[in-house]
Amino acid sequence: MTNSEIVEVLELTAKLLELHQADPFKIKGYSVAAFYLDKFNDAALEDMTAAELTKLQGVGKSTAAKIVEIAQTGTFAELDTLLAKTPPGVLDMFKIKGIGAKKIAVLWRELGIDNLHELELACLNGSVAKVKGFGGSTQQKILDSLAFVRSQEGKLRMDKGRQAADRLMEMLKVHFERVEVAGDVRRKNEVVASIVILVEAESPKVLQDVLDEMGSLQKMEKESSPFVWRGKMESISTMVEIVYVVPGRMVNTLFLESAGAEHLAYPTAEGGTLRKKALGEAVASDQQLYESAGLPYIIPEMRDGGEAFLWSEKNQIEQLVTWDGLKGILHNHSTYSDGQHTLKQMADYCQELGFEYLGIADHSQTATYAQGLKEEDVVRQHEEIDRLNLGYAEAKALPAFKILKGIESDILGDGSLDYPDQVLASFDYVVASVHSNLTMSAQKATERVLKAVENPYTTVLGHPTGRLLLTRLGYPLDHRVIIDACAKHGVVVEINASPWRLDLDWRWIRYCMDQGVLLSINPDAHAMAGYFDMHYGVEVARKGGLTLERTFNAFSLGQMEAYLKEKASKRG
């Protein structure tokens, strides 16, 4: 089992113990262990002994023994007992934002609600609002969350979708020479609604016979045909489609199965459509297909609609941002706040990857849940940065490397930034982010962020909507108003590269570029391995048409320092 899967088991155990009103100390034990292990990436928990586990923060002897059992069997006796006395529908209620285990227990025991359908009915008839501790506001939040959960069912985040597609590809390549990933995964969609795999085979029956022998696949007979297998893969809720491809037609079929309907309907120079062109003569490459259609080549990421052709009137594919074009890594966390690795470890690894600078942006003091930096911690961190930078300078490594002094300052409820101005002035740059009060109206949320953007100390607007994909909607913002303000005040907009966020949404990248706003692809890394999340950020940035020229962290160290110095001078 992966570390994250083990943590999920511990978190579920804590929730169920709270649901069944168990000993608070036992609940806290599992919660604390899950909290600290969620930040542990130094080794695989499943490979550690109980004695080794007890040396980790938050893990006692009892919990260590449970982790060993989880690693070996996927569960443990206490969890099995809790699951046995919990209706499956009650477990589903943990998906609802705004109600925790205690409120779920009340709904279950006092109203007899043990599934999402009954919960929705009770909200619609007003029963939930009448329960002590709930009220009309909570009732409406439950209804909103139910609607969101229903809309996200059967979907996966980009990273999980790709992992599932890669696993299926490996299984099929044992039997077939030509296998390709299509659909949402190939288009680099931030959310994957289905996993589409194309297989070139001698005949549909040859493919079907192989699929029938794969125990990890479950066919949905009514939804399938001789040419398209549809069903589910073990442990994956998303629909899987495995499409038979006639030998010699892979490129054409891959194009048809990977482009959006609007893109396929785009007119060609000869008067037909891209769909018609792809259904015609077999081609050897995508480039050949576009060329024969009299159209500029569009990369798979940008084949959602027709806007990519408008983009291509002013830009070239070669101008798009790439991983290799990035010069630094901004918005990262260390053990000064809630990161897993020390400042030196984060910096050394950043340099090892070939980058020219690390922007450290630990949480600010209001973020107590993340051990945000008090003013004295800021001074201490800056002193360490100065010592480390002196060492990097003396080493005379090429390229030169430097740590930039940043902070992820909370945007407070009234739109002001955490810390007084004299502290904010001590940083090279400030990432301003919202982490609390996420239920404001669109008007209030926009006014709040707008005030932060107007603050002269704000350098970067962090994860602009606060969304968590498939888990939490972002707070409502008037994107145009905020982006226009960023243009006016010279504020960079973040593309948070965590696959949980991918926020700013790629659909707003082109508007940012049109308004002259720079964008920064930031991993929000809480561990060294988190740097690689920038690959996801690069992919959705390319999907939105972001060029290297408009990418903030594609600036060299010299350009970055000059930019930050000029911004500071404008503050006076």
Residues 126-160 have pLDDT tens digits of 989 999 989 898 999 899 888 888 888 889 999 99
pLDDT of residue 42 exceeding 80, the answer is no
**pTM for the full model?**
0.85
The last residue of one of the domains, among 286, 314, 342, is 314
Instruction: Say yes or no: 525 and 496 in one domain.
Output: yes
Instruction: Say yes or no: 450 and 531 in one domain.
Output: yes
Exposed e or buried b for every residue in 431-470, given b needs 16+ CB within 10 A? bbbbbeeeebeeeebbebbbbbbebbbbbbbbbbbbbebb
Query: How large a percentage of the chain has pLDDT more than 70?
Result: 100
- Label residue 398 by pLDDT band (50, 70, 90): confident
Instruction: Say yes or no: 427 and 486 in one domain.
Output: yes
- Label residue 443 by pLDDT band (50, 70, 90): very high
Instruction: Say yes or no: 338 and 304 in one domain.
Output: no
Residue 131 within a domain? yes
Number of independent structural domains in the chain: 3
Instruction: Say yes or no: 455 and 505 in one domain.
Output: yes
Residue 215 within a domain? no
- Label residue 264 by pLDDT band (50, 70, 90): very high
CATH of the domain at 434: 3.20.20.140
Query: Long-range contacts: 293-301, Cβ < 8 Å, 24+?
Result: 293/268, 293/269, 294/268, 294/269, 294/270, 295/266, 295/268, 295/269, 298/263, 299/542, 300/186, 300/187, 300/188, 300/258, 300/259, 301/187, 301/188, 301/539, 301/540, 301/542, 301/543
pLDDT of residue 565 exceeding 80, the answer is yes
pLDDT tens sequence across 278-319: 999 999 999 999 999 999 999 999 999 889 999 999 999 999
C-beta separation of 162 from 214 below 8 A: no
- Label residue 243 by pLDDT band (50, 70, 90): very high
Instruction: Say yes or no: 531 and 404 in one domain.
Output: yes
pLDDT for position 506: 97
Residue 232 within a domain? no
pLDDT tens sequence across 10-21: 999 999 999 999
Side-chain-side CA neighbours of 327 within 13 Å: the count stands at 20
Residue 177 within a domain? no
CATH of the domain at 104: 1.10.150.110
The residue range of the domain holding 301 is 259-314
The last residue of one of the domains, among 245, 279, 314, is 314
Instruction: Say yes or no: 398 and 289 in one domain.
Output: no
Instruction: Say yes or no: 329 and 472 in one domain.
Output: yes
Closest-CA residue to 499 (of 189, 259, 195, 239):
189
Mean pLDDT (whole number) for 514-536: 95
Distance CA 329, CA 544 (A): 20
Residue 562 within a domain? yes
pLDDT of residue 76 exceeding 80, the answer is yes
Closest-CA residue to 509 (of 258, 307, 359):
307
Distance CA 240, CA 172 (A): 13
Residue 285 within a domain? yes
The last residue of one of the domains, among 277, 295, 314, is 314
Residue 163 within a domain? no
Closest-CA residue to 103 (of 145, 75, 63):
145
Residue 231 within a domain? no
pLDDT tens sequence across 353-393: 999 999 999 999 998 888 899 999 999 999 999 999 999 99
Distance CA 122, CA 113 (A): 8
Instruction: Say yes or no: 381 and 436 in one domain.
Output: yes
